[in-house]
Structure 1
Amino acid sequence: MMPSRFDGLERELAAADLGGIALNAGPSLTYFTGLDFHLMERPVVFIYVIGKMPVFILPRLEAAKVAEMGKIKIYFYDEDPKQWPKIFAEALAGSGAAGGTLGVEPLQLRVLEYTLLKQAVENIRLVDGSQVTASLRSTKDNAEIVLMQRAVDIAQDALRAVLPQIRLGMKEEEVAGELIVQLFRHGSDAVLPFSPIVSSGPNGANPHARPSQRKLCEGDLLVIDWGAGYRGYVSDLTRTFAVGEIDEESARIHDIVQQANSAGRAAGRIGVACSEVDRAAREVIEEAGYGQFFTHRTGHGIGMQCHEEPYMRAGNDRILRGGMTYTVEPGIYLSGKNGVRIEDDVLITAEGAVSLSTLPRRITRVG
C-alpha cells in the first residue's frame, strides 16, 4: 500500500464530489497498491471509500500477494462463480459504499465487474471517475521518472544494436523480430508496451502498420516505432530512416517532420495548454503544405501505460504541470509512397519540456 498516494486520492475524490472509487486489475490499481494483477476470467476489484478501510475482492489463489497488507479488508472467493454475487454484496457493504456513488474507469472496467458491482447493492451509482486517477497518475514523482528514463534508455540501446544489421532485402518482420530480441537483451520487462511497428515505403503511410513480409527497397523511408518496459513504466519512440538513396520529396517531408517535432517539444512548459503543443507542431506541417497528411494528434501521455492522460490534441485545454510526461510525434503520410514520424518522450520541468530520448532525429541511412 502507498499511503501518500491514498492521501492524494482522497483529495481528488472529494474535489470530484465522489464518495469513493472501484478499480479492477490494471495500472491504476497497481499505482495505488503496488500490487500487479492481470485481467483474467476471475474478477479482481479494489474499493476505496473516503474515510473507510479499503476493500479487496480477490480469488483465493491470490492470497499470497496480499498476505502482508495491513489496514485493508479482503474478501476472498473460491472457484464457483455462483459465489461471486454474494461476496461482492458483502464487500460493498463492508466498504461503506452501499447506496452511494463510486467512480470507475470506463476504459478499464469490464462488463463482468460492472455487472457484479451493480447487482451487489441496490441503487449504487457507478460514474466516470477516470479524471481522478488520471490527475494523479499524469504527474510523475522522481522515482517514476527514473523508471521511465530507464525504459527510454533500454529502447534506445536496443535500436542501436539493430541498426547495423539492417540490409536491403530484409523483411519488415525480420527487423521487428530482431528488435524484440534486443529489447529483452537490454533489460526490457517481459511484457512490451506494444508490438514494434516496422513499416517501409508505402507501408509507412499507415501510422499503425503491422510488420509484414515486404522487403526493404532502395529509396524507402523506414519507420520504426517501438518501446520498452521497465518495472511497470514504459517508453514509446519513433525514428524514420532512409534505405539507401531517397528522392527529394522523401527527404523534404522528413525535414518538415523533424522541424515539427522540434517545435512541439519547444512548446511544452508549465501553464501551457495541451492544445498549444499540438498547434505548434501542426502549424509547421501545415505551412509546408502537408497539413492534410498529418492525420493524428501530436502526442499522448505516457507512464504506466503507453497511452494515458494528457493528450496533445486540438481542443484539449488541460494545462501542463511539472512532472507530466508525454510524447511528441508529428508525422506526414503519403499514401502509396512513404511516411515519416519522429517521436520523443518528454518531461515537463521548471525549465520547459526536457526530452528523455536522445537518439538523432536527422535522417540517417541504413542498409
Structure 2
Amino acid sequence: MTERPATPAPFTTDDYRARMARAATAAADAGLAGLLVAPGPDLVWLTGYRPTSASERLTLLVLAPGHDPVLVVPTLEAGDAERAPGAPALTLRDWTDGQDPYAAAVPLLAGGGRYAVSDDTWAVHLLGLERRAPSSTSFTALGEALPMLRAVKDTAELDRLAAAGAAADAAYEKIKNVRFAGRRETDIAADLAALLREFGHAQVDFTVVGSGPNGADPHHEADDRVIADGDMVVLDFGGLKHGYGSDTTRTVHVGEPTAEERRVHEVVREAQERAVRAVRPGPTCQDVDRVARETIIEAGYGDRFIHRTGHGIGVTTHEPPYMVEGELQPLVPGMCFSVEPGIYLPGRFGVRIEDIVTVTDDGVRRLNTTSRELAIVQ
C-alpha cells in the first residue's frame, strides 16, 4: 500500500495577519491608498475566507496602510466570515438586505486616493463604489498594480505545492498503464480526474487529452474522438490539493512512434530541459521563455510554439509570474511556475512537456519528477 503523506497543518490567524500586513506594506510602497479585495483567490490567500458561492451581494476586504483590515460582508454570511481562520485579524462590518451595501464600504475610502481592486471584483460593485466614493478616489487593477503579491511562496506554501505535484505525478504513473487505443478522449480524461482525486486532490480543474490532430490545439477539450494506434496524445491535468495547485503535462504515444514524432518530442524535451536549467535567482521571466523558444527555433519549429513558456501557480493554477517575452520581473527564491514549451503541427499532432518548478537560493527545484521521455502506451 502506498503511504500517504500527512495533511499539512492549516494556516493560522498569524499567517493571515502577516499576509495582510505584507499586502498593506506593498500597497504603500506602490503609492496606493489601499487594496479592495472581493471574493476570489486574493481573498482566500489573505484571509482564508472563501464564500460558498459567488454573489451579487457585496463582500469586500479593505486593506489600507496604517489602518486595521475591514471585511464588509452581507449579514446573512457574517457567521461564515467569522469562522474564517483570518477573521480574528480583521474587523467585520456587515450590511443587511435592503440597505445600500456601498454605504458600508465607502466610508472606509474617505481619504480618497488610488485603490487597487482585485481582478475578480464584479463590475457592478466597482461601478457602485465609483459612484459613491469621494471624487479624489481612483481605481486600478490589483493584478497590474501588484502583480507579484502572491508570487513568492513561503515554506508552508511550497510544501503544499510539492504535495500537489507529487499527487499529479502519481496520477501520471498510473494512467500510463491504462488502455488508450479504442477508447475516447473523454474516457481517459475521466480516468485522470479520478486518479487526481484518488491521490488527494479536492478539486480537479482540467484534464486535457489531445489525441492525434487534437493535440495540435494546446487547450483542447477532451471530446468523443476515439484514440487510435499511432496517435500522439497530449495529457495536461491539474487541480488543487490542500488548497494549492498542480499542473503537469506529458505526451505519450500509442504504439511505436515515427522518426519524426520522436524528433519533435526530443526537441520539446530539450527545450524544456534547457529552460529549467536556466531558472535561478537573477534572470528575468522573459529569459526563461527565450531559452525554450530559441531551442525550438533552432530546430525549425519556431512558428509552431504558439504560447508563453510558463505561468505562476499557487492558490490558483494560473497566476503571475508569467514566463513570456516582455516580462522583466527578476526570478527570486520562492517563486513557483510552470515550464511548458510545446510544438503544435495543425492537422497532425502536438507535443508539450510541463513541470512546475520553484526558484531556490542557488538554482531550481522541480516539483514534478516523472520521466520526460516519450512514453509508449497501449
Tell me the residue number matched to 1:63: 78
Kept in 2: contact 1:20–1:47 (CA 8 A): yes
The separation in 1 between residues aligned to 2:104 and 2:316, in whole angstroms, is: 32
1:362 maps onto 2:370 in alignment: no
Determine helix, strand or coil for the equivalent of 2:94.
strand
Which of 333, 338, 344 does residue 327 from structure 1 map onto? 338
Determine helix, strand or coil for the equivalent of 2:320.
strand
1:74 maps onto 2:92 in alignment: yes
Which of 146, 157, 161 does residue 170 from structure 2 map onto? 157
The separation in 1 between residues aligned to 2:263 and 2:293, in whole angstroms, is: 16
Which of 147, 151, 154 does residue 141 from structure 1 map onto? 154
Deviation at 1:71, TM superposition (A): 5.4
1:118 maps onto 2:97 in alignment: no
The separation in 2 between residues aligned to 1:79 and 1:7, in whole angstroms, is: 31
1:92 maps onto 2:103 in alignment: no
The separation in 2 between residues aligned to 1:130 and 1:338, in whole angstroms, is: 35
Superposed CA deviations along residues 64-108 of structure 1, whole A, max 9, x for unmatched, are 22336335332223344xx2xx33223321x25443321113x32
The Cα RMSD (Å) is: 1.6
Determine helix, strand or coil for the equivalent of 1:283.
helix
Determine helix, strand or coil for the equivalent of 2:236.
strand
Which of 12, 16, 20 does residue 6 from structure 1 map onto? 20
1:306 maps onto 2:317 in alignment: yes
Determine helix, strand or coil for the equivalent of 1:36.
coil
Q: Any gaps of 5 or more consecutive residues in structure 2?
A: 1-12
Which of 188, 195, 206 does residue 175 from structure 1 map onto? 188
Tell me the residue number matched to 2:61: 46
Deviation at 1:284, TM superposition (A): 0.8
The separation in 1 between residues aligned to 2:301 and 2:145, in whole angstroms, is: 38
Deviation at 1:131, TM superposition (A): 4.7
Tell me the residue number matched to 2:31: 17
Tell me the residue number matched to 2:306: 295
The separation in 1 between residues aligned to 2:39 and 2:353, in whole angstroms, is: 33
Kept in 2: contact 1:19–1:97 (CA 8 A): no
* Runs of 4+ residues over 6 Å off in structure 1: none
Superposed CA deviations along residues 42-74 of structure 1, whole A, max 9, x for unmatched, are 221111111112221212222222336335332
Bigger Cα displacement from structure 2, 177-186 vs 138-147:
177-186
Determine helix, strand or coil for the equivalent of 1:57.
strand
The separation in 2 between residues aligned to 1:344 and 1:199, in whole angstroms, is: 18
The separation in 1 between residues aligned to 2:76 and 2:226, in whole angstroms, is: 48
Tell me the residue number matched to 1:184: 197
Kept in 1: contact 2:282–2:332 (CA 8 A): yes
Kept in 2: contact 1:141–1:323 (CA 8 A): yes
State the AA in 1 paired with 2:33: G
Tell me the residue number matched to 2:290: 279
Superposed CA deviations along residues 318-356 of structure 1, whole A, max 9, x for unmatched, are 100000000000000001111000000000002212111
Decide whether aligned partners of structure 1 residues 71 and 331 sit closer, same or farther in structure 2, where only a CA change above 3 A counts: closer
The separation in 2 between residues aligned to 1:119 and 1:96, in whole angstroms, is: 13
Kept in 1: contact 2:208–2:219 (CA 8 A): yes
Bigger Cα displacement from structure 2, 3-12 vs 248-257:
3-12
State the AA in 1 paired with 2:104: E
Kept in 1: contact 2:72–2:104 (CA 8 A): no
Q: What percentage of aligned pairs have identical amino acids?
A: 35
Superposed CA deviations along residues 155-180 of structure 1, whole A, max 9, x for unmatched, are 11122222211231111000001111
The separation in 2 between residues aligned to 1:358 and 1:30, in whole angstroms, is: 29
TM-score scaled to structure 2, two decimals?
0.91
Kept in 1: contact 2:24–2:35 (CA 8 A): no
The separation in 1 between residues aligned to 2:49 and 2:195, in whole angstroms, is: 28
Kept in 2: contact 1:103–1:126 (CA 8 A): yes
The separation in 1 between residues aligned to 2:259 and 2:348, in whole angstroms, is: 12
Decide whether aligned partners of structure 1 residues 13 and 167 sit closer, same or farther in structure 2, where only a CA change above 3 A counts: closer
Kept in 2: contact 1:55–1:91 (CA 8 A): no
Determine helix, strand or coil for the equivalent of 1:137.
coil
Decide whether aligned partners of structure 1 residues 234 and 65 sit closer, same or farther in structure 2, where only a CA change above 3 A counts: same
Deviation at 1:30, TM superposition (A): 1.2
The separation in 2 between residues aligned to 1:64 and 1:159, in whole angstroms, is: 41
Bigger Cα displacement from structure 2, 199-208 vs 147-156:
147-156
Decide whether aligned partners of structure 1 residues 53 and 11 sit closer, same or farther in structure 2, where only a CA change above 3 A counts: closer
- Provide the aligned length of Structure 1 versus Structure 2: 359
Decide whether aligned partners of structure 1 residues 210 and 203 sit closer, same or farther in structure 2, where only a CA change above 3 A counts: same
State the AA in 2 paired with 1:115: L
The separation in 1 between residues aligned to 2:133 and 2:313, in whole angstroms, is: 36
The separation in 1 between residues aligned to 2:319 and 2:162, in whole angstroms, is: 17
1:266 maps onto 2:280 in alignment: no
Kept in 2: contact 1:92–1:98 (CA 8 A): no
Decide whether aligned partners of structure 1 residues 116 and 356 sit closer, same or farther in structure 2, where only a CA change above 3 A counts: same
Deviation at 1:137, TM superposition (A): 0.6
Determine helix, strand or coil for the equivalent of 1:225.
strand
Deviation at 1:109, TM superposition (A): 1.9
